[in-house]
Structure 1
Amino acid sequence: MAYKTHLSILQESAAAYPDRPVFRVPRLVVGSESEVEDWTVVSYSQFDLGVKLYAKHWSRTLSRDGVPPRSIVGMWLSGLSYTDALHIYGLARAGYIPQLFSLRLPNPEVIFELLVKAGAQALIHDPSFESILRNAPVPVHVAAEVSEGKDVEDVSLPDLSEPRRAEDIVMIFHTSGSTSGSPKLVRCNYKWLDAMISKANVVMRPRRENVQDVSVWMGSMSHIGQTFMLLGALQHGSCTIQPTKIAFSSEELLDMVNRCRLNRLNQFATFLAAHLRASRQNPKLLQTLAGFDEVLYSGLALPRDEEEWAYQNGIRLKNLFGSTECGAMMLSVGGSGPDARFLRPIEGTTYGFFPVTSTDLDASASQHQNANNQLREMVILSESGDCPDPLLRAADGHFHTGDLFIEAAPGAYISRGRDDDWIKSENSLRCDTKAIEDNVRATCGDLVAECIVVGNGRPSPALFIEPKVVDVDEKKLRKDVIRRTRHFHSRRYLHERITDTKFVFVVPAGTLPRTATKGNIRRRAVEEQFKEMLDEVYGMSF
């Protein structure tokens, strides 16, 4: 079977829409980090030629190291620029398997371990890491811009029509949270990628005929989110704008509308919420948001008041629910009716929603568990094309997501959180709170009676502590906790780390809210009770 890949759809779209813009790239005013002089157009044919140039560069470079095609090659890049897209697609076009690392995992020791675990043969890295990669276990190369092709004219590239087996690995991602001090490998095969492409076709389908969709970069291509969205954009001949930063300002949003014809906004919920709040005082911004063909958000739920504001003002909201292991899985119904928020599995998938029972779920979830609205876990069945690598599946052969829902209408669901201790940061990356809490108890057991980690939707987590001693020096306690847990946090993603005493809160014993049954501290209730305190330390309002 000929499976579709990101390379085959690029080839098809470059032939069908050679002169259409595929990217708009900002050229900044000299001396500025955010003021855009103009937005440079990159056409489909230019992108296709650029990918082939970078492919030949990496084929020549890696062959000199003795790294044969179909080898795994690590890529430690920001994933936020057009040049990064050229490197990622170019390496794959050269016949290699990219293992993608995020800049949010800045510890080279962990990168080296993951390279070895995957069997990688080389590492391509962002220039900023050059000084810390001297003891790498594989050959390393800087991801520099490639501008000349004369020295690689004689390099041949693999035939894209060559058949691949369903189980052959095509790329490797990593879970966005650390487990046992390290992310897990998410090996992606051709069958899985083909399913991603089918789902992305549905998600990114244009809402108007004969109008080129223009959307905006959602996140790093080192993660599945933006990789998935680009798969959809390429299929429909759409254009993607590279913003100056992922959390771009409302002023930049308006500029992208005026100069790049942005008509479709895709953002993580935390960043979209900032525009929705700003639109309350900015009629022009509100009019712009309401004029988009679609405003799609993902990663987290929108704050209820921002969601209501959007619906009341005619903004065409769509919620996309997904994960690293499976890509996008569910889309909200949309529209303006009472069922607009309901989520439905994307067509072509095969999921199960199996009843779960728990005696100690968070109160916000357990209140919905009754005879009519029983909590159900979303399970990706083994026959679904997007079911991830067998190593990630449970003993029954299926992938258990841990995501909980209630069935609000036949085949339509409302999210009710998770059945584990993971939370999501503002950019929708996951954080294992229990691992942090266990480390605090192991290293600070003589100082801490109880603790809880919170920070859902925040840039990084925060730690609440009930001390063992009543008359405690709080400042010293916070410093001691940071000092004793420093090594543990050094191995984690940036969004998982607690390395500053301002994110450690000391409260009297018995202050933290607990469940009535087992007396466990209720994470969400802590976030609600101390919201103002958290807002102040993070310097933002939610």
Structure 2
Amino acid sequence: MLRTHLSVLESSAARFSSSPAFRVPILDGQTGKLNDWETISYTQFLFDVERSAVYWSHQLRDIPQRSVIGLWIGGFTYVDVLHIYGLSRAGYVPQMFSLRLSNADVILELLIKANAKATFNCHVPIYQANQVAEVDGSELSSVPLRSLPVVTESDMAFIFHTSGSTSGSPKLVPCSYRWLDTTVSKSGQIGRPRNEARQDVTSWMVPRLMQDLVLIGSLQHGSCTIQPTTISFSTDELMEMVTRCGLNRLNQFAAFLAMKLRDSRSDPKLLSILSNLDEIIYSGMPLARDAQEWALQNGLNVTVSFRSGLVLFKELGATLISVGGSGTDAPLLRSLEGVSYEFVPVDSAPLEGHQSTARLLEFVVRSDSGDCPHSSLRASDGHFHTGDLFQEVLPGRYVPCGRDDDWIKSENSLRCDTKAIEDNVRATCGNLIAECIVVGTGRPSPTLFVEPAVDMDHDKLKKDILRKIRPFHSRLYLHEKISSPKMVVIVSRDALPRTATKGNIRRKAVEDTYRAQLDQIYGATSQ
């Protein structure tokens, strides 16, 4: 029998009925400050999902089950989870859209490609994603909870989208029930508690699919998930989650965890809290070497859960997990169980900043692996080539060595195609610029560095560039857009660091050389 997020919830609601499934923040109505957390049990969660399913069955009563329904929501609240699970329980296929994709035309194009029948907060036709608690119960009292339709492993359970744009639009990522069944297995491995004698309490993560995968793992083990007030929650809020909610397992993206580790250097109380957590799981990007060393030296139980950087989380979910510190720039990683992966030698020059002569291997997901993405996303050999590079330092143990392409990851580990942005700048601003490069690894959005081809006032040059590239950027995710003059940096001719042989601009060297200026642009401090 195929396992799904719904079957996991039903099983866990029976096993852990009165245990807390969620702790949801209660905010002050006047100040917006955190007052406390509301506890939602497994029984209540199942009841709310079924209530949401009845609501959507009623709203979409003229639309057949197994139809694709677009869902354009934030994905960071308990109510968002109810809409996702509720649509699935009503027998539909949710097509997820991030609010960071703000261009309605792009969303409409993706809906048409997926043959969607309805959506929320968009066109064709529109249904408002109301608070489930606000739905009139009397209106739904006569609406039955429909049986789930029969599905096969090749049927679609969800449709996601790549977190970066290609040719001005994300790609569809259809996820089958076979993929979902394997995801249940993988998330169960990652979510396994360190101490079976007590309930795990873990923190919420986004983007939406990331949270769904973590949640599936937590539900299998009867764990509780805390929803923070923001994705980049403060150190004070972390302390509150530990002392008031019993948080013992911290999930964060590397960029946000790095801030906590930096603060812990001068805050003994924070360091004590971090060192007493059962596990700290980070993903998205590697931690800086000094942050890794600080964590290891101070006894922090840090685990890397690697997700393919090719398109963040959307095709694969979790793939590799750390097996302890290695003394190198990153912990050793191993494959999860029940999958079919390969590490294939690549014939390429060493990556920038990578001095080792050891053989580089590309991480490839074989077609016979249950989590291998949809055939539309595979290479001509039938397998899924991630583009992520590794070295094998021990048998079956790997360290990441970056990527073999021009994509970078933003602060929350979403992807940005720098080459596409640079190509558009060259195509539209060729008379204004001599050369350009896009940087912004680990930042909220990219920054464009320009060597000008004309003698022009820099403020006017920035405005002219932004005007010319605006049509292209209007179709991108928020984390990909360059829409402010402060995100365009003008430097003198030949000022950007280049390779000695071909004279190509070195992206990482630009980020290192102009780190202080980038920190000022983003209002950050160097990590």
TM above 0.5, yes or no, is yes
Give the TM bin, normalised by the shorter chain. over 0.9
Per-residue CA deviations over 1:164-213 (Å, capped at 9, x if unaligned) read 21110000110000000000000000000011110000001000022100
From 283, 292, 316, give the equivalent of 1:307: 292
Paired position in structure 1 for 2:127: 141
From 193, 214, 231, give the equivalent of 2:180: 193
Paired position in structure 1 for 2:310: none
- Is the contact made by 2:326 and 2:332 (CA closer than 8 Å) also made in structure 1? no
Corresponding residue SS for 2:495: coil
CA distance in 1, matches of 2:176, 2:145: 21
Q: Which amino acid aligns with 2:130?
A: A
Alignment CA distance shift 1:210-1:432 (3 Å): same
CA distance in 2, matches of 1:124, 1:260: 33
Per-residue CA deviations over 1:394-415 (Å, capped at 9, x if unaligned) read 0100000000111111111111
Q: Which moves more between the two structures, 36-45 or 514-523?
A: 514-523
- Whether 1:74 aligns to 2:73 is no
From 470, 479, 495, give the equivalent of 2:479: 495
Unaligned runs of 5+ in 2: 308-312
Corresponding residue SS for 1:140: coil
Q: Which amino acid aligns with 1:75?
A: L
- Whether 1:325 aligns to 2:315 is yes
Unaligned runs of 5+ in 1: 126-132
CA distance in 1, matches of 2:304, 2:11: 29
Describe how 1:34-73 pairs up with structure 2 within 5 A.
35-63=33-61, 66-73=62-69
Corresponding residue SS for 1:363: coil
Task: Kindly state the Cα deviation for residue 516 of structure 1 after the two structures are TM-superposed.
Answer: 2.6
Q: Which moves more between the two structures, 186-195 or 333-342?
A: 333-342
Corresponding residue SS for 1:364: coil
Q: Which amino acid aligns with 1:435?
A: A
Corresponding residue SS for 1:187: strand
Paired position in structure 1 for 2:465: 481
Describe how 1:72-471 pairs up with structure 2 within 5 A.
72-125=68-121, 133=122, 136=123, 138-147=124-133, 148-160=136-148, 163-221=150-208, 224-322=209-307, 323-334=313-324, 341-359=331-349, 362-365=351-354, 367-368=355-356, 370=357, 373-469=358-454, 471=455
Corresponding residue SS for 2:157: strand
- Is the contact made by 1:363 and 1:515 (CA closer than 8 Å) also made in structure 2? no
CA distance in 2, matches of 1:159, 1:526: 57
Alignment CA distance shift 1:338-1:358 (3 Å): closer
Task: Kindly state the Cα deviation for residue 163 of structure 1 after the two structures are TM-superposed.
Answer: 4.6
CA distance in 2, matches of 1:414, 1:335: 10
Q: Which amino acid aligns with 1:210?
A: A
TM-score of the aligned structures, taking structure 1 as reference length: 0.94
Per-residue CA deviations over 1:72-103 (Å, capped at 9, x if unaligned) read 00000000000111111001000000000001
Pairs aligned (count): 519
Alignment CA distance shift 1:473-1:339 (3 Å): closer
- Is the contact made by 1:83 and 1:145 (CA closer than 8 Å) also made in structure 2? yes
Per-residue CA deviations over 1:299-328 (Å, capped at 9, x if unaligned) read 011121111111111100001111321000
- Is the contact made by 1:426 and 1:456 (CA closer than 8 Å) also made in structure 2? yes
- Whether 1:509 aligns to 2:505 is no
CA distance in 2, matches of 1:297, 1:176: 18
- Is the contact made by 1:467 and 1:509 (CA closer than 8 Å) also made in structure 2? yes
Q: Which amino acid aligns with 2:342?
A: G
- Is the contact made by 2:175 and 2:373 (CA closer than 8 Å) also made in structure 1? yes
Q: Which amino acid aligns with 1:53?
A: R
CA distance in 2, matches of 1:180, 1:315: 42
Alignment CA distance shift 1:478-1:307 (3 Å): same
Q: Which amino acid aligns with 1:139?
A: P
Corresponding residue SS for 1:273: helix
Percent identical: 56
Q: Which amino acid aligns with 1:311?
A: L
- Is the contact made by 1:362 and 1:522 (CA closer than 8 Å) also made in structure 2? no
CA distance in 1, matches of 2:142, 2:492: 71
CA distance in 2, matches of 1:431, 1:251: 31
Corresponding residue SS for 1:92: helix
Per-residue CA deviations over 1:132-183 (Å, capped at 9, x if unaligned) read x4xx2x11111111234332233333445x6521110000110000000000
- Is the contact made by 2:8 and 2:220 (CA closer than 8 Å) also made in structure 1? yes
Q: Which amino acid aligns with 2:153?
A: A
Q: Which amino acid aligns with 1:5?
A: T
Corresponding residue SS for 1:101: strand
CA distance in 2, matches of 1:253, 1:525: 34
- Is the contact made by 1:332 and 1:340 (CA closer than 8 Å) also made in structure 2? no
RMSD: 1.4
- Is the contact made by 1:13 and 1:237 (CA closer than 8 Å) also made in structure 2? yes
Q: Which amino acid aligns with 1:199?
A: K
TM-score of the aligned structures, taking structure 2 as reference length: 0.96
CA distance in 1, matches of 2:330, 2:150: 42
Query: Which portions of structure 1, spanning 4 or more consecutive aligned residues, are displaced by more than 4 angstroms?
Result: 335-340
CA distance in 2, matches of 1:164, 1:12: 19
Per-residue CA deviations over 1:329-382 (Å, capped at 9, x if unaligned) read 1111126877970111111111111111224x54224x33x3xx1111100000
CA distance in 2, matches of 1:383, 1:12: 28
CA distance in 2, matches of 1:439, 1:24: 45
